[in-house]
Chains A and B, each alone.
Chain A
Amino acid sequence: MAGLEADAVWTPAPPVSRRSRVPATLIWGALIVLVVLALAAAAPWIAPYPYDEMQIMARLKPPSFAHWFGTDDYGRDVLTRTLIGARLSLLMGLGATAFCLAIGVPIGLYTGYRRGRVEEIVMRAMDVLMSFPPILLGLLVLAVTTPSLWKTVLAVGVVYVPAIVRLTRSVTLELAQEEFVLAARARGDGSAYIVLREILPNAWPPIAVEGSLRITFAILLGAALSFLGMGAQPPSSDWGLMISEARAFVDRAPWIALAPGIAMCVTVIGVNLLGDGLREFLDPRMRSGKGS
C-alpha cells in the first residue's frame, strides 16, 4: 500500500545509472560462471598432465605440490581430470539447455500465439512427456542403446522441453493479450512481425532466467546419468563418472571424489546466482521501480 503510493510518483528521466542497479548476485554469478567456462575452455592447455596418463607408481596419492588434488587409483592426476571433466559436464549442461530452448521456445511461441487445435495436441503431448519422472526418460533411451555423450545430451534436453514450452507459451499467451500487441494487429502487422518483434523481446527475460536454471538441472541430471554409467564413457570422464569411479576408494582417498564434487558445487552455485540475479535484474517490476 505504502510502497504503491511512493511509486506512483513519476521522476523525469531517472538519473540513477543502470550500472548501480545490477544486483550483486548477478555480478558474482557471472564471475563464477566466466571463470569456470574459461578454465574448461583452456583445460587442455593448462592441465598439468595428459588426462589419461597413468602413473602406476603414484596411485591414490594425497594432494601434494606435484598433484594439487592428488591422484586416482590409476595414478592419474585428479586436477587434470577435474579440469577435463568440466568440459564434458558443461557440454552436457549447455548442450541440453540449448537443445531444449531450440525446440521449446518456437513451439511455445507458436502455440501461445496461434492457439487452436495444434496447441491442444502439443500441450497433451507435453503432458505425456512430463508424466515421466525426469531421470526415467534418460534411462529408458540409454538402457537399450550404447551409451554415448550426445545421447545423454539429447535425453536430458528432451526431458526439459515441456517445461520450456509451457513457460514460453504462458508468457506468450499473456503478452498476446497486452494492448500493445492488439495495437500492432490493429495497424495491420502480420503474425510473424508481432511474434518476433513485439512478443519475443518481452518474452525472453523469463525464458533466459528459466534457461539459466535449466543449465544447473541439466548438469546435475547429466552427472547422475554418468554416475549410473549411462553418460560419459571411460576413459574420458565427466564429474559424475569421476565420482562414481571414486566411490570404491572413498575411505582411502576421498580427494578423488571431493575434487569433482566441489567443482560441480561451485559451478552450480555460480549458475544459480546468475539466474537469480538475472531474474532480479530483468523483472520489470523491480527495475523500473514503478508499474501497475
Chain B
Amino acid sequence: MSTDPPTPPAVLDVAALTVSYATRRGRVSALREVGFSIQTGETLALVGESGSGKSTVALAVMGLLGPEATTHGGTMLFNGQDLRRLTPGQKQALRGDRISIVFQDPFTSLNPGLPIGLQVAEPLIFHRAMSEAAALDKAVEALAEVGLPHPRELVRAYPHQLSGGMQQRALIATALICDPALVILDEPTTALDVTVEAQILDLLDELRRRRGLSMLFITHNLGLVNRICDTVCVLYAGSVIEYGPTAQVLSAPAHPYTMGLLTSMPRLDPVHRRTRLIPIAGKFPDLTQLPTGCIFHPRCAHAEAACRENAQTMAPVAADHAVRCWKSVAINAAQETMAPLQRAAVPPRVSVQQGELLLELKGLRKIYPLSTRLTRARLGIPGTRASIPWFRLERPEVRAIDGVSLSIGSGETLGLVGESGCGKSTLGRCVVRLLEPSSGSVLFRGRDISRADRKQLRTFRGLAQIVFQNPISSLNPRKTVGAAIDRSLANFSGLAREGALARRTEILEQVGLAGNYADRFPHQLSGGERQRVGIARAIATGPKFIVCDEPVSALDVSVQATVLNLLSDLRDQLGLSYLFISHDLSVVAHIADRIAVMYAGTICEEGPTDAVLAPPYHPYTATLLSAIPSPDPTVARNVRIRPRIDGVAGKVPMRGCVYHHRCPRTLGKMCEETPPPIVQAAPGHWIACHLPLAELEAMPAVLPIRVSDGLQSPAGGHASAAVVHSGTAPE
C-alpha cells in the first residue's frame, strides 16, 4: 500500500507499523508491518477477530499505547507529519482536536462523576482556549447535531441517567466537537443493541457525508463494514492479510481467512439462511510463538509445504486490492467452482412441523418487586398546567416476563429473539425452573413442572437441560472437564463407574473433544472448547429438551459457526428440541424452525421462521430486521425502519402496548392505553399489534434478494432490490 502512494496526500498513512507488548508470558507480537492509508472523506474499516491487534492500531495512532507496549518501527503520517516523531506535548495537542476517537463501551468511557456537558465541552476548553460557558453553549449544539433530544437539559445530566445509545451519541459529539480531520471509531456499536446500533450507524453515515469526515472504523462485524466503509483492511494476528475496496473484498475475498469469515457468518437472506456454515478450522495462534511462514497456514485448508516455509508478502490481485497469500489466484479459481458445491453438500434442513407437544408455557409471568420507595407524584389539574405535589409510598416492580404463552414440539427448535433486557434469559431460566415464575404454568409433556414434587422435578431435570452464554462463568474453575460431566452422569445415567467413564469419553467425542480433555481445567480451554464442555454437560443427563441461552454470543464468528454446527448436528442425532435464545436474529433464523420475537417481557410476534422474516410483520420485527447490516455488497438495503427514540434505559410503558413509545407506526391513544390484540396472520403465525393485518402486510419487505442469485428479478434494479417481497421466495 505504501508502495503505490495515492495521488492526493492521505489524511493518515500508516506504513510498516510494528508493535509488541511485554507480558508475563513473554513478548506478544501485536502488530507486524501494518500499513494502510485513509484519504480525505474516506472511511477505512479495520477488521479482525479478538487478538488481531485492531485496537492496538487505534491506540498507536492516538499516541496512547501503555508503557508495556514498544513500537519497533514504521511510520504514521498524519497529513504528512509523522506521529511517531512528535513530542508528548504535540501529541496531546493533536489528540481530541485533529484526531479523535470513540471507544467501544459508552458506559465506561464517560466519567460517572461529571456532567455530560462538561465532558463534551472539554476539548474546546483546552484546544480552543474557550471559556467554560462558551464551550458549554457549543456542547449544546453538538449534542443537538448528534440527534439527542433536549440537549439543553442533557448538558447538566450525569452519564447514568442516559441510555447506552444516548451515551454513545454524547461520545460521538465529544469526538466531533473540534471538527477533527480524522475520527477513529473503535467498535463503536459492539456494546449496543442492534436497533440502537442501526441508529448510530445512520448518524455516522450522515455526519460523514455532511462533514466529509475521514474515519478509521474498527470492527469485527463484516455487516457493518459493508454498511459504512469504503475500504477494508483485514487484520489477522497482527498482520494485514487483505486490503481493498469494500465491495471487492466482500464479494470476491482473496484471502482464505477473509473467505472463512464470510462463510462462517449466518446470513438472513433466504438463500443462505439454512445452509450449513463453514467455519475456519483450528485455533487463533499464540502471539508469543507465531507460526513460521504464512501465519494463517495452520488453519488454512489450502496450505501446503511452501506456506509453512515462506513468509507471505502483500501482492496485488486487482487494482487497489492486495492480499498476503501467494496461492490466492489458484484458490479463487478453485473456489468459483467449489463454493456452490460445498454449500450444497449438506442440504438445508427441512423445517420440522410441530409434532407431539413437548413443552407449553401458559401465561407465564415473572415479576420482581423493587424496594419500596417514597416518590413524589403529582396530581394534575385538568385543563391547566398546574399540579399539586403529594407523596405516596410506591411499590415499583419490574415485569421481566409479562404473560408469555409459547409451545415447542418434540424435535422442534423455537428461536427466541430480543434485545438486552427484554426478559428472554429470565424466560429460559423459568422454563427449566431455575427461577420460579410469579404466575402461569410451564407444562412439560402435559405436566405442570412448577407444581412438580421432588421426584417428578428430578426426572424433569434429566430431560430438560440448559446451555449458558458465558464460557468463562459456565464452568466451575476448580473442577476438571471430566468432573463436570461425571456429576451429570452420576445423577441421571445410573451407570457404574466403568460404564460412566466410557460414556464420558463418548460424550466428549460427541461434542468434538478428545477424551484426554477430561483432565483439563476450564482455564486451559479456549472459549469455543468451554462452550463444547457446557454442551457436553447438558447432553450427559440424556435430555430431550435444551434451553440454549445465547450459546454463541460471546464467541468470535469463526468459533460461533463451529458451535452452531455442533448444536444442529446434536439436534438431529439425538432428536433434541431447543429453545434457542439469542439477541442475533441471523443466528436464530439459521437454526430455528419457528421464531418468537420478544420485547419488554412480551411476545410480539411468533411464527414459522420464513413467515416471521417476511411481511406481515410486527413493527418491532421489521425494525429488528432492518437494523441488521448485511455483509453482502451486491444487495442494497434502502428500507430503513427505525424506532422513534433510542430507548431510555428502564422505561417501559406500564399500560397499552409495550412498544408504543418506540413504535414508528403507533396509532396514538389506542396503542398507549389498550394492550394489543393477538392476530393470526397465517396458520401458526401470530402478531400482537393494533394495526390492521392488511397494513402490516403492506409493509415493505426488509430482507433483500440477491440480484445475482436470480431467484426473483427485482423490478427496479439494484437500488430498489430491497423492496421486493421475499416472503414467497423458494428455497
Beta-carbon contact of A183 and B468 below 8 Å: yes
Q: Within the complex, what minimum Cβ distance (angstroms) separates A82 from chain B?
A: 42
Q: How far apart sit A201 and B477, CA to CA, in the bound complex (Å)?
A: 9
Identify B468's interface contact among A182, A187, A202, CB under 8 A. Answer: A182
Given A184-B487, A187-B492: A13 in contact with B23 (beta carbons within 8 A): no
B470 contacts across to A, CB distance below 8 A:
179
- Chain A 158-182, CB within 8 Å of chain B: the 1/0 string? 0000000000000000000011101
Chain A stretch 1-33: residues in CB contact (< 8 A) with chain B: 1-14, 16, 21
A116 located at the interface, meaning its Cβ lies under 8 Å from any Cβ of chain B in the complex: no
Interface centre among B24, B55, B284, B477 (most CB of A within 10 A): B477
Q: Which residue of B lies closest to A16 (CB)?
A: B25
B283 contacts across to A, CB distance below 8 A:
10
Q: Within the complex, what minimum Cβ distance (angstroms) separates B555 from chain A?
A: 12
Identify B28's interface contact among A6, A12, A178, A198, CB under 8 A. Answer: A6
Beta-carbon contact of B474 and A180 below 8 Å: yes
Beta-carbon contact of B478 and A201 below 8 Å: yes
Chain A stretch 204-242: residues in CB contact (< 8 A) with chain B: none
A131 located at the interface, meaning its Cβ lies under 8 Å from any Cβ of chain B in the complex: no
Given A11-B25, A185-B434, A284-B477: A5 in contact with B466 (beta carbons within 8 A): no
A290 located at the interface, meaning its Cβ lies under 8 Å from any Cβ of chain B in the complex: yes
Identify B473's interface contact among A2, A178, A185, CB under 8 A. Answer: A178
Q: How far apart sit A198 and B66, CA to CA, in the bound complex (Å)?
A: 38
Given A8-B51, A187-B461: A289 in contact with B491 (beta carbons within 8 A): no
Q: Which residue of A lies closest to B238 (CB)?
A: A5
B645 located at the interface, meaning its Cβ lies under 8 Å from any Cβ of chain A in the complex: no
Beta-carbon contact of A289 and B24 below 8 Å: yes
Q: How far apart sit A10 and B237, CA to CA, in the bound complex (Å)?
A: 12
Beta-carbon contact of B55 and A1 below 8 Å: yes
Beta-carbon contact of B55 and A9 below 8 Å: no
Q: Within the complex, what minimum Cβ distance (angstroms) separates A114 from chain B?
A: 14
B458 contacts across to A, CB distance below 8 A:
188
Chain B stretch 415-464: residues in CB contact (< 8 A) with chain A: 429, 432, 434, 457-458, 461-462, 464
Identify A182's interface contact among B466, B472, B491, CB under 8 A. Answer: B466
B468 contacts across to A, CB distance below 8 A:
179, 182-183
A292 located at the interface, meaning its Cβ lies under 8 Å from any Cβ of chain B in the complex: yes
Beta-carbon contact of B55 and A183 below 8 Å: no
Beta-carbon contact of B491 and A188 below 8 Å: yes
Given A2-B55, A183-B537, A187-B492: A9 in contact with B28 (beta carbons within 8 A): yes
Beta-carbon contact of A202 and B477 below 8 Å: yes
B320 located at the interface, meaning its Cβ lies under 8 Å from any Cβ of chain A in the complex: no
A133 contacts across to B, CB distance below 8 A:
none
B525 contacts across to A, CB distance below 8 A:
10
Beta-carbon contact of A187 and B465 below 8 Å: yes
Number of residue pairs A-B, CB distance < 8 angstroms? 118
A189 located at the interface, meaning its Cβ lies under 8 Å from any Cβ of chain B in the complex: yes
B92 contacts across to A, CB distance below 8 A:
none
B538 contacts across to A, CB distance below 8 A:
183
Q: Which residue of A lies closest to B65 (CB)?
A: A2
Q: How far apart sit A16 and B30, CA to CA, in the bound complex (Å)?
A: 21
Beta-carbon contact of A188 and B462 below 8 Å: yes
Q: How far apart sit A184 and B477, CA to CA, in the bound complex (Å)?
A: 14
Beta-carbon contact of B537 and A182 below 8 Å: no
A145 located at the interface, meaning its Cβ lies under 8 Å from any Cβ of chain B in the complex: no
Q: How far apart sit A9 and B476, CA to CA, in the bound complex (Å)?
A: 21
A146 located at the interface, meaning its Cβ lies under 8 Å from any Cβ of chain B in the complex: no
A66 located at the interface, meaning its Cβ lies under 8 Å from any Cβ of chain B in the complex: no
Q: Which residue of B lies closest to A198 (CB)?
A: B476
Given A3-B66, A11-B25, A16-B25: A186 in contact with B465 (beta carbons within 8 A): yes
Identify B51's interface contact among A9, A21, A186, CB under 8 A. Answer: A9
B718 located at the interface, meaning its Cβ lies under 8 Å from any Cβ of chain A in the complex: no
A64 contacts across to B, CB distance below 8 A:
none
Q: Which residue of A lies closest to B434 (CB)?
A: A182
Chain B stretch 481-510: residues in CB contact (< 8 A) with chain A: 484, 487-488, 491-492
Q: How far apart sit A183 and B55, CA to CA, in the bound complex (Å)?
A: 35
Q: Within the complex, what minimum Cβ distance (angstroms) separates B171 from chain A?
A: 15
A288 contacts across to B, CB distance below 8 A:
523
Beta-carbon contact of B68 and A289 below 8 Å: no
Beta-carbon contact of B288 and A202 below 8 Å: no
Q: How far apart sit A12 and B282, CA to CA, in the bound complex (Å)?
A: 12
Q: Within the complex, what minimum Cβ distance (angstroms) separates A224 from chain B?
A: 38
Q: How far apart sit A164 and B654, CA to CA, in the bound complex (Å)?
A: 42
Chain B stretch 357-401: residues in CB contact (< 8 A) with chain A: none
Interface centre among A4, A8, A198 (most CB of B within 10 A): A8
B106 contacts across to A, CB distance below 8 A:
none
Beta-carbon contact of B534 and A183 below 8 Å: yes
A12 contacts across to B, CB distance below 8 A:
286
Beta-carbon contact of A6 and B492 below 8 Å: no
B475 located at the interface, meaning its Cβ lies under 8 Å from any Cβ of chain A in the complex: yes
B28 contacts across to A, CB distance below 8 A:
6, 9
Interface centre among A178, A186, A198 (most CB of B within 10 A): A186
B86 located at the interface, meaning its Cβ lies under 8 Å from any Cβ of chain A in the complex: no
A198 contacts across to B, CB distance below 8 A:
476
Q: Within the complex, what minimum Cβ distance (angstroms) separates A190 from chain B?
A: 10
Q: How far apart sit A5 and B476, CA to CA, in the bound complex (Å)?
A: 24
B541 located at the interface, meaning its Cβ lies under 8 Å from any Cβ of chain A in the complex: yes
Q: How far apart sit A10 and B528, CA to CA, in the bound complex (Å)?
A: 11
Q: How far apart sit A98 and B28, CA to CA, in the bound complex (Å)?
A: 45
B168 contacts across to A, CB distance below 8 A:
none
Given A187-B541, A188-B492: A2 in contact with B434 (beta carbons within 8 A): no
Q: How far apart sit A198 and B475, CA to CA, in the bound complex (Å)?
A: 10
Q: How far apart sit A14 and B286, CA to CA, in the bound complex (Å)?
A: 11
Given A5-B51, A11-B25: A179 in contact with B69 (beta carbons within 8 A): no
Q: Within the complex, what minimum Cβ distance (angstroms) separates B629 from chain A?
A: 24
Beta-carbon contact of A5 and B473 below 8 Å: no
Q: Which residue of A lies closest to B29 (CB)?
A: A6
Q: How far apart sit A14 and B475, CA to CA, in the bound complex (Å)?
A: 19
A7 contacts across to B, CB distance below 8 A:
23
- Chain B 172-205, CB within 8 Å of chain A: the 1/0 string? 0000000000000000000000000000000000
Beta-carbon contact of B466 and A183 below 8 Å: yes
Q: Which residue of A lies closest to B540 (CB)?
A: A187
Q: How far apart sit A184 and B465, CA to CA, in the bound complex (Å)?
A: 10
B411 contacts across to A, CB distance below 8 A:
none
B50 located at the interface, meaning its Cβ lies under 8 Å from any Cβ of chain A in the complex: yes
Q: Within the complex, what minimum Cβ distance (angstroms) separates B571 from chain A?
A: 19
A178 contacts across to B, CB distance below 8 A:
473-474
Q: Which residue of B lies closest to A193 (CB)?
A: B487
B524 located at the interface, meaning its Cβ lies under 8 Å from any Cβ of chain A in the complex: yes
Chain A stretch 109-127: residues in CB contact (< 8 A) with chain B: none
Interface centre among B65, B285, B461, B478 (most CB of A within 10 A): B478
Identify A9's interface contact among B284, B429, B434, B462, CB under 8 A. Answer: B284
Q: How far apart sit A47 and B524, CA to CA, in the bound complex (Å)?
A: 51
Q: Within the complex, what minimum Cβ distance (angstroms) separates A181 from chain B?
A: 8
Beta-carbon contact of A179 and B25 below 8 Å: no
Beta-carbon contact of A180 and B487 below 8 Å: no
Given A10-B286, A180-B473, A180-B476: A186 in contact with B50 (beta carbons within 8 A): no
Q: Within the complex, what minimum Cβ distance (angstroms) separates B218 from chain A?
A: 11
Beta-carbon contact of A10 and B30 below 8 Å: no
Given A1-B59, A182-B429: A6 in contact with B487 (beta carbons within 8 A): no
Q: Within the complex, what minimum Cβ distance (angstroms) separates B69 from chain A?
A: 6
Q: How far apart sit A289 and B21, CA to CA, in the bound complex (Å)?
A: 14
A-B interface, 7 closest residue pairs, ranked by CB to CB distance from nearest: A188-B461, A179-B468, A179-B474, A288-B523, A180-B476, A6-B28, A8-B50
- A3-B66, A202-B478 given; 9 more Cβ-contact pairs under 8 Å: A2-B30, A14-B25, A182-B429, A187-B462, A187-B492, A188-B458, A201-B478, A202-B476, A289-B23
Interface residue ranges, B against A (CB under 8 Å): 21, 23-25, 28, 30, 50-51, 53, 55-56, 59, 65-66, 68-69, 103, 283-288, 429, 432, 434, 457-458, 461-462, 464-466, 468-470, 472-478, 484, 487-488, 491-492, 523-527, 534, 537-538, 541
7 examples of A-B residue contacts, CB within 8 angstroms: A1-B59, A6-B23, A9-B286, A11-B25, A180-B474, A183-B468, A188-B492
